[in-house]
Chains A and B, each alone.
Chain A
Amino acid sequence: MIQTFSLFPGITLRCCRDTRFKQGCLSFQLVRPMCLEESAMNALLPSVLLRGTRQHGDLRAITNRLDELYGASVSAVVRRIGDYQTTGLYCGFMDDRFALPGDRVLQPMLDFLGELLLESPLENGGFPTAFVESEKKNLIATIESELNDKRAYAMGRLLRTMCREDTFGLPRLGDKEQVAVIDPVFLYDHYQHILRESPIEIFYVGSEEGEQVASLLKPLLSRLDRDYRSLKPQTAFHSCEGSDLTETMEISQGKLCMGFVTPITNRTPEFPAMQMLNTIFGSGMTSKLFMNIREKLSLCYSIGSGYYGSKGIVTVSAGIDFDKEELTRQEMLRQLKDCQDGHISEDELTAARQAILSSLRSTHDSPGSIEGYYATAALSGMKMTPAEYMAAVEAVTKEQVVAAANSLQLHTTYFLKGGSQ
């Protein structure tokens, strides 16, 4: 059961009390509209906060404090949730019951979180230049390193191309150029601004009562000077003209990606049917793409599809030989056509249904997956709890799956192949 507390205007605490786990977690997220002007700053912020506080002045002092808290961790959270970008911190910590007699973890953890969020050392009215500059360098390296994973790189190129008119085409961590020009004073001012205005989502999983967590957080939150502004609701895909793009790189395996669009999002009633369609079409080892393109035709090792429910986008990608592009492309479309023509067996339908149900059933089996579900579902506009979602999946018919398949339109294709640029 999730308990929801509205602690201050625009500040929501959601608690999942569960005594089975050995660790607890708490995420603190500021919710922002995804936009080019601030995405890089939002991505940079948490890393700067983690560099030091007035009491714990450098990385080593921070790690030592976390070591004292039985190896607790605090990490940056920067998520894309539809049209929103969240920025904040995620704490993972051992449950109090394993601590030495009389010792506590949760309370000092939350005190320390408050310190990280609100007691940054200041330099000329901004964050320390050394922290900001070195984290800018790290963030640029992280953005550039997308190139190292060719599949993720190709998928990123596809989404950027097809979402030119949509926030979904903006990189989650901002652009390198945007990062490079961030100034320590401006970043600090931006932080104060978003602390004041943004919706704040706090999510806790652990053995403590919700009321108790709320009261432990009150001192931290009452220090905020709030002037809350709500955000615009999520929107579906903003269309643009599709394209067919090929790029080259010195690689030994090609990556073929296709992007489809659909009016079905996680805010429309057909959502569970589209999830089912995606599973049948390309998710997992029993999907049509896997069974046919990998197992029957031996064209690839990795292949799969993904459904971005907040936007209504389905993508497909596969790692193939350069000369198999046309064949693979035709085959991918043929598998989709099969779904659209209703060639879906009872077994495929059952397998997809069971896979989704099983994953929803085990949502509550780890603190991370509980946080992952609830801390993003509400923001993305998905109103169903796992139980309601399961009931909806149970009720999906084959006709609805076929209808979902027929709502898909090919928008853009991207192929990354070998050779010199």
Chain B
Amino acid sequence: MIPSYYPELDETCYRQVLENGLTVAVVKRKGFTKKLAYFITDYGAIHTDFTFEGREYHAPAGMAHYLEHKLFDMPGGRDVSAEFAAMGAMTNAFTSYDLTAYYFSCTENFHECLKLLLEFVSTPYFTEESVEKERGIIDQEIGMNQDAPDSVIFENLMVSMFEKHPIRIPILGTSQTIREITAQTLHICHRAFYTPGNMLLCVVGDVEPEEVTALARQMLGSEKKEVGKKQPLPQESMTTAEKETCRIMEVAMPMFNLAFKCEPLGLGDEAIRREMVADLAAEALFGESSELYLRLYEEGLIDSSFGGGFETIDGCAMLMCSGDSDMPEHVRTAILEQAERIAAEGIEEAAFLRMKRSALGRRIRQLDSFDGTCFRVCAYHFSGFDYFRFPEVYRSIEKEEIRKFIADIVTADRSCLSVIRPVEEK
């Protein structure tokens, strides 16, 4: 494997694409006890429409997540979690809109754990009975989310903001859609998207990179298999379908999500640069060091729960902020006005340099987190970018790019406000 050393970050990363198409990345952390491995597929909740083996498929919503749950089943009544636990390892998984990740962390028995991870994720074993039993559990998970205002407010925002993009549908699907999921449909999705060519194995810890690739070869074979071809995601107009949505729930005080629709990012260096520009734009517009944040905070329109940034998901992107506020509409007005001001006046040089230094410092600090680093290496890999190159991207960004981003994106046309109000306000 070929190591790359990043002197500015004091990081070493080994990367290789195996014959079977699997990308392996090892972030070497000398002297650490913990070892973390992510086995991740470029397939998530929004990828319901695809062609595979010459056929077209339209899977029910909630498929990727259901599959994630069911992959923990193994033939012969084996219990994957128990096997990890016996080795002192902790395993789990999550499904996002555009990827599904399986991971474990351990301090000992790394090889056996890695072997087990590769084995269980690539071994589909579903019976109609076990698929049926899972429905009750996932139904409870859906119920839990329906009572969680953070999920509801975001899901409402997506429905109002987008007209066609599958981000409109919750990751878990609904109680209705998950009824359509069967052992057979799970098998098809697994065959289509859990092939090495669609996946990434990323390890962080004091491990031997060559041993990781050797194990991956041994467990996954060398054959390159067909990968399901995802249907292109629908093109969205940059004007939001609805500007506002509101729901009443058992919450303490009104909460809001405010977002501005952005053009999808695409892949590679340009996309990442735009993402970092967007992050800095969020900072300049409503970050804690911005004039607006101070004003809204002092006026009591926002509190310390306020925050925001840039969100990017396959086929869509948005600049977003959220928090608690008695007057979310006022927050929206203030943000739009401030955006106009920045668009007209630009950003002060000293403030811009300070923001860049701060953003860079925070990203360096985040590297101490094994989970954060592993996740970012994976997510950026699927965007066609080597995450550890972020310092050079930051350095090359100019303040005019930030101004232009705010001028183009933060407009009433592109905005949508999702609010949840407490029950007694009815």
**A binding-site residues for B, Cβ under 8 Å:** 20-23, 47, 58-60, 63-64, 66-72, 92-94, 97-98, 130, 134, 137-138, 141-142, 144-150, 249-253, 284-286, 294-295, 298-302, 319-321, 347, 350-351, 354-355, 357-358, 361-362, 364-367
Q: Shortest Cβ distance from B426 into chain A, in angstroms? A: 10
Q: Shortest Cβ distance from A155 into chain B, in angstroms? A: 14
B369: CB under 8 A from chain A? yes
B31: CB under 8 A from chain A? yes
A71 close to B87 (CB less than 8 A): no
Q: Shortest Cβ distance from B324 into chain A, in angstroms? A: 6
B residues 148-164 in Cβ contact with A at 8 Å = 148-150
Given A295-B137, A298-B133, 9 more pairs with CB closer than 8 A: A70-B364, A137-B303, A144-B252, A150-B250, A249-B250, A300-B140, A321-B140, A358-B88, A358-B105
A141 close to B294 (CB less than 8 A): no
- Name the CB-closest residue of B to A362: B34
Which residues of A lie under 8 Å from residue B87 when comparing CB positions?
Answer: 354
B289: CB under 8 A from chain A? yes
B365 close to A92 (CB less than 8 A): yes
B107: CB under 8 A from chain A? yes
- Name the CB-closest residue of A to B302: A138
B425: CB under 8 A from chain A? no
Known contacts A301-B138, A361-B107; is-contact A367 B357 (Cβ 8 Å): no
B400: CB under 8 A from chain A? no
Given the complex of chains A and B, what is the CA–CA distance between A148 and B62 in angstroms? 25
Kindly name the residue among B8, B304, B360 whose own CB sees the greatest number of chain A CB atoms within 10 A: B304
A319 close to B365 (CB less than 8 A): no
What are 19 A-B pairs at a CB distance below 8 A? Answer: A23-B365, A59-B297, A60-B289, A67-B354, A68-B357, A70-B358, A70-B364, A148-B148, A250-B249, A286-B79, A286-B81, A298-B140, A300-B137, A301-B138, A301-B141, A358-B89, A358-B105, A358-B106, A361-B107
Partner of B252, one of A23, A147, A295, A320: A147
Q: Shortest Cβ distance from A366 into chain B, in angstroms? A: 6
Which residues of B lie under 8 Å from residue A295 when comparing CB positions?
Answer: 137
Which residues of A lie under 8 Å from residue B32 when comparing CB positions?
Answer: 20, 365
B251 close to A301 (CB less than 8 A): no
B10: CB under 8 A from chain A? yes
A286 close to B82 (CB less than 8 A): yes
Known contacts A20-B32, A68-B357; is-contact A148 B85 (Cβ 8 Å): no
B289 close to A355 (CB less than 8 A): no
Partner of A252, one of B89, B90, B146: B146
Given the complex of chains A and B, what is the CA–CA distance between A301 and B251 in angstroms? 22
Q: Shortest Cβ distance from B347 into chain A, in angstroms? A: 14
Given the complex of chains A and B, what is the CA–CA distance between A239 and B246 in angstroms? 45
Which residues of A lie under 8 Å from residue B250 when comparing CB positions?
Answer: 147, 150, 249-251
Which residues of A lie under 8 Å from residue B268 when comparing CB positions?
Answer: none
B418: CB under 8 A from chain A? no
- Name the CB-closest residue of A to B294: A60
Given the complex of chains A and B, what is the CA–CA distance between A130 and B294 in angstroms? 13
B136: CB under 8 A from chain A? yes
Which residues of B lie under 8 Å from residue A365 when comparing CB positions?
Answer: 32-34, 370
Partner of A253, one of B143, B293, B361: B143
B303 close to A141 (CB less than 8 A): yes
Partner of B288, one of A59, A286, A351: A59
B137 close to A67 (CB less than 8 A): no
A22 close to B364 (CB less than 8 A): yes
Q: Quick one: CB contact mask for B31-75 with A, threshold 8 Å, 1 for yes? A: 111100000000000000000000000000000000000000000
B211: CB under 8 A from chain A? no
Question: Closest 4 interchain pairs by CB?
Answer: A70-B361, A298-B136, A354-B88, A71-B361
Which residues of B lie under 8 Å from residue A252 when comparing CB positions?
Answer: 143, 146-147
Given the complex of chains A and B, what is the CA–CA distance between A97 and B11 in angstroms? 13
A66 close to B358 (CB less than 8 A): yes
Which residues of B lie under 8 Å from residue A138 when comparing CB positions?
Answer: 303-304
Q: Quick one: CB contact mask for B75-107 with A, threshold 8 Å, 1 for yes? A: 000010110011111111000000000000111
B88 close to A355 (CB less than 8 A): yes
A250 close to B298 (CB less than 8 A): no
B215: CB under 8 A from chain A? no
Which residues of B lie under 8 Å from residue A67 when comparing CB positions?
Answer: 289, 354-355, 357-358
Given the complex of chains A and B, what is the CA–CA distance between A362 and B35 in angstroms? 9
Which residues of A lie under 8 Å from residue B294 when comparing CB positions?
Answer: 58-60
A150 close to B288 (CB less than 8 A): no
A301 close to B144 (CB less than 8 A): yes
Known contacts A59-B293, A137-B300; is-contact A301 B370 (Cβ 8 Å): no
Known contacts A23-B368, A60-B294, A144-B253; is-contact A319 B303 (Cβ 8 Å): no
Q: Shortest Cβ distance from A178 into chain B, in angstroms? A: 17
Given the complex of chains A and B, what is the CA–CA distance between A301 and B250 in angstroms? 21
Which residues of A lie under 8 Å from residue B358 when comparing CB positions?
Answer: 66-68, 70-71
